[in-house]
Structure 1
Amino acid sequence: MMRARYAAEVTLAAGQRFASLGRVSVRNRRLVLLWLRRQALRLADGHGGGVRDESPGDVRPVRFHGTDAPEGLRFWATDHHRQDDAIRTLEAGFPLQFTVLDPAVGLSLTLAGWRTCPADRP
C-alpha cells in the first residue's frame, strides 16, 4: 500500500524574478503544515531582526520593507481557524497556498503545500 506524501515550498516573486527560498518533502499533511507554520513565523520574526533558531531545512530570510507581510504571515501561522482550514484543504487533496505582499517593493511571498503521491484507496 502506498501512503500519501506531501511537499511544501516557500517562493518569492518580484516583478519577473522568481526564487524558491526552500522546499521540503514529508510523509504527511500535518508535517507540511508544521513546516509552513515554522517558516512563516521565522520570516515574520526576521523582519524585526530577531530570527528563531535555524534548522537545516529552514528557508532563507527575507527583508520586508513594510509590516503588512510579516503581520500577515504571523496571523496565518497563529490563527486556529486559518490552520484548521489549511489542514482540511490538504486532507481533501487540494493544494494549499497562502501569499503575502510587500507592495512597497512589489514583492510577493507564497507558502504552498500539496500532495505529491496519492494514497491508495481500499
Structure 2
Amino acid sequence: MTAQVLAETYAGDARTTVHLGGVLVASPRLALRWLRGQAERLANGLDPDPGTPWVPRTALRAVPASEPDAPAELRGWATDDECQGDALHRLASGGEFEFVVRDAVCWYGLTARPLLIPDFTREAGALISA
C-alpha cells in the first residue's frame, strides 16, 4: 500500500455544499502547498485588490469589524507558519485536517486526509512470481 493525501476545497451556505476542487498528492507537504494556493485563490476571488481591472470600482466595500472577514482569514492561514506546522504534523501522523471560515452568508473549507491506496502492480507481480 502507498500513502497519499487527498486535499479538497469546498464552499457553501446553509443549504448547499459545492466541491471546488481536489488533488491526490504523494505527501502531506504537497497537500498543504496545494491548499495554501487554494486559500489564496479563494481570498483573491472574494476580495480582489482595488486596482484589479475586472472589478468595477463600486463593487468593493470595506468589511465592518463586526462581520467575519473570510478572505483575511484564508490569507492569514496560508501565511501562518505555526498553522502550517500544526497541519503538517496532524497529516503526517495519520490525522485529518480541516480549516473552515465564514463570512456573512457563506462558508469556505480546506480539507486534507491521508489515504492508503493499494499498489496493485506490486501485488500482481507477487502473485505472478509465486
- Report the TM-score, using the length of structure 2 for normalisation: 0.72
- Distance in 2, matches of 1:118 and 1:79, equals 31
* Structure 1 unaligned residues grouped into runs of 5+: 51-64
Aligned residues: 102
The residue that corresponds to 2:28 in the other structure is 29
The residue that corresponds to 2:52 in the other structure is none
| Alignment-mate amino acid for residue 72 of structure 2 | E
The residue that corresponds to 2:86 in the other structure is 85
The residue that corresponds to 1:59 in the other structure is none
Cα distance per residue 1:74-108 (max 9 Å; x no partner):
01010110010010010111000000001x22x11
Identity within the alignment, %:
39
Aligned pairs for 1:52-71 (under 5 A) are 66=63, 68-71=69-72
- Distance in 2, matches of 1:92 and 1:10, equals 21
* Structure 2 unaligned residues grouped into runs of 5+: 50-61, 119-130
Flag the structure with larger Rg.
2
- Return the offset for 1:47: 2.5
The residue that corresponds to 2:112 in the other structure is 113
- Return the offset for 1:109: 0.7
**Compared CA separation, residues 69 and 80, structure 1 to 2 (3 A):** same
| Alignment-mate amino acid for residue 100 of structure 1 | V
Q: Is the 8 A contact 2:47 2:71 kept in 1?
A: no
- Report the TM-score, using the length of structure 1 for normalisation: 0.76
Q: Which protein is richer in helix relative to its size?
A: 2
Regions of 4+ moved over 6 Å: none
Asked if residue 4 in structure 1 is aligned to residue 3 in structure 2, the reply is yes
The residue that corresponds to 1:53 in the other structure is none
